[in-house]
Amino acid sequence: MRQLSGIDVSFLNMENRSTYGHVSSMNLYDPTGTPGGAGLAATKQIILEQLGTLTPFRRRLVEVPLGLDFPYWIDDAEFDIDYHVRHHAVPPPGTPEQLSEVVSRIHARALDRRRPLWELYVIEGVDEGRLIAQVTKVHHAAIDGAAGALMLAALLDLSPDVRDVGPPAEWKPEAVPTERELLQRTLVSYLRQPDRFVRHSLHTIREFGRNPQSGSLGALADLVVQPIPGPLGNMMRRRLRDPERRSEDRPPALPITAAPRTLFNATISPHRRFAYTTLPLESAKDIRRAVGCTFNDVVMALCSGTLRRYLIEHDALPSESLIAMVPVSIRTGAETDVFQNRVSAMFADLATNEADPLTRLDRARKAMEGAKKNFAAIPAEALMDFTQFAPPAVAARAMRMYSRLRLADRGAIPFNLVISNVPGPNVPLYMGGAELKHFYPISALVDGQGLNITVQSYTGSLDFGFVADRELVPDVWRLTDMLEASLDELLAAVRVTPGPDAPAAPAARRASKSASKSARRGSQGTPKRQR
């Protein structure tokens, strides 16, 4: 039995009727020549064989009574592979748009907390039956991006040769602890660290509350403080009202920065849209070499150009630049449990108010450099400390109130969207002999940020996944067209011509792109205007 960390629990607390704490991916496999490869039966067998290594796949939550402490993971005695691995199909001819509709609906369903927090869908009929898609949903409370890569490595092979699948891994289920046992553990935990609980809760709430730009975040801090009863609550309220605390008692201020509102910065609905596309990795490297920047700088510039085009098309480009939150891994390699969250974040200017692509790239590069040098990322240990000592029941209540009161529509927002760049393997991978062709990430949305862009590199490709609120960004496929246009613009600006060996977009995407583009424009409607 292992207790969740504060970071883990924050992804549980974020969930409400329209916000989900899981992250997903859509993998496309080519089973040509390997009947059954990446299919339902083979996938179940491979997971069962690796279940001894894939601990998040067999662990379920045990909640502490009244939310007095963080939940625990236990190995589920009632684990059922048939519940978690499911079969699906798309109607003929299995175009990317048809597949994305299926994936959007799968992604827009919360995971059942009474079971291990993951699901895997094997989807047949893709690209006229030539490809198989797998959609994997795993709760962010169980893994971060690095842990997800480790899980993928455990399931896939480096060779197309179909290996013999061994017997199911042996592992020992755990008995569900009683409420009395959980409360005893909670009492011991509070007795060991009461001072740290008060100190870290106070300084973080105070930073939120006293920042004049925090807007709705200040209201959220009030929701956290007011319900706490007894001497602890009285102390926290007195200290929150004290603006003259010595500066040496306070850690660095949280990086709360006002960002301009856009079409997708509002309270989100429970529904999602997903779109995906692939760019050649070598083209991004050509730009990096020509300009002398990092690979991540190029990705940020591509996203910046895409967002600028999209907002101009909808006559909604703010005069101020958009701000992106960029997740950052804080893993040291010394973690005792590799399947946990070790992630922080930094905030970067996207230069969307700059017309020239090279100047935009230079500004994005300087913004990323400044974020790193000035430690604009929330300090890793401070973030871990804060989340470790926020009372779970109070934090969950605060997040529900935040959504119910639609505070995302009123106060200032710290950033416009999350952009994440995940490095992936540079060699082909296989499942049951079927080659993995593309790996498209699908991330989470929260109130106030109705669009997310995540990119994964894999064997010469950059696989982009766009997930958006269905009402705020109904024409999400337009972003894929604009991403490709942004790449062409940067290549032209640095006078680089893509080589003849540069990978093209996926076959299914190419085949349907021209035929479906006009239909998409006519059927998806117009995004909601700013509220």
Q: How confident is the model at residue 148 (pLDDT cuts 50, 70, 90)?
A: confident
Q: 63 near 13, Cβ under 8 Å?
A: no
Q: What is the pLDDT of residue 224?
A: 45
Burial string for 94-113 (b: 16+ CB within 10 Å, else e) reads bbbbbbbebbbebbbebbeb
Report the alpha-carbon distance of residue 102 to residue 94 in Å, rounded: 10
Catalytic residues: 140
List, for residues 380-399, the tens digit of each pLDDT value.
Answer: 555 444 455 455 555 555 66
Q: What is the pLDDT of residue 475?
A: 97
Q: What is the pLDDT of residue 114?
A: 95
Higher pLDDT, 374 or 119: 119
Alpha carbon distances (Å) from 470 to 28, 391, 476, 500: 23, 33, 9, 37
Determine how β-strand 430-431 pairs with β-strand 131-139: unpaired
504 conformational bin, left if phi > 0, alpha if psi -120 to 50, beta if neither:
beta
Phi first, then psi: what are they for 421, rounded to 5°? -120, 115
Q: What is the pLDDT of residue 367?
A: 87
Residue 457 is encoded by which pair of tokens? Answer: 């590199």
* Mean pLDDT score across all residues of the chain: 80
Residue indicated by tokens 């079969």: 87
Q: What is the pLDDT of residue 193?
A: 64
List, for residues 90-147, the tens digit of each pLDDT value.
Answer: 999 999 999 999 999 999 999 999 999 999 999 999 999 999 999 999 999 988 766 7
Report the alpha-carbon distance of residue 447 to residue 444 in Å, rounded: 10
Query: Which of the residue ranges 157-171, 224-238, 258-272, 356-370 would you say has the lowest mean pLDDT?
Result: 224-238
Query: Looking at the chain, how many residues does it have?
Result: 531
Q: 211 near 217, Cβ under 8 Å?
A: yes
Res. 233: pLDDT tops 60: no
* Nearest of 102, 98, 119, 114 to residue 24 by alpha carbon: 119
List, for residues 477-491, the tens digit of each pLDDT value.
Answer: 999 999 999 999 999
Compute the average pLDDT of residues 166-178: 90
pTM here is: 0.81
Q: 469 near 272, Cβ under 8 Å?
A: yes
Q: 491 near 498, Cβ under 8 Å?
A: yes
Higher pLDDT, 151 or 305: 305
Report the alpha-carbon distance of residue 330 to residue 303 in Å, rounded: 24
Compute the average pLDDT of residues 201-230: 47
What percentage of residues in the chain have a pLDDT greater than 70?
70
Report the Cα 525 to chain-centroid distance in Å. 26
Beta-bridge mates of residue 139: 22
Q: Is 401 exposed, middle or buried (0-12, 13-18, 19+ CB in 10 A)?
A: middle
Q: Is 498 exposed, middle or buried (0-12, 13-18, 19+ CB in 10 A)?
A: middle
What percentage of residues in the chain have a pLDDT greater than 90?
55
The number of beta carbons lying within 10 Å of the beta carbon of residue 464 is: 24
* Nearest of 429, 459, 457 to residue 441 by alpha carbon: 457
Report the alpha-carbon distance of residue 74 to residue 65 in Å, rounded: 16
C-alpha angle 158-161-167 in degrees, rounded to nearest 5: 90
Report the alpha-carbon distance of residue 322 to residue 312 in Å, rounded: 13
Q: Which residues 6+ apart lie within 8 Å of 106 measured at CB?
A: 24, 88, 119, 121, 135, 137
Higher pLDDT, 49 or 521: 49
272-280 sheet: strands from edge to edge? 272-280, 461-469, 451-458, 417-422, 323-329, 343-349
Report the alpha-carbon distance of residue 394 to residue 427 in Å, rounded: 46
Higher pLDDT, 271 or 412: 271
Q: Which residues 6+ apart lie within 8 Å of 117 measured at CB?
A: 22, 56, 60, 61, 111, 138, 139, 141, 142
Beta-bridge mates of residue 343: 329
Q: 236 near 228, Cβ under 8 Å?
A: yes
Q: 282 near 458, Cβ under 8 Å?
A: no
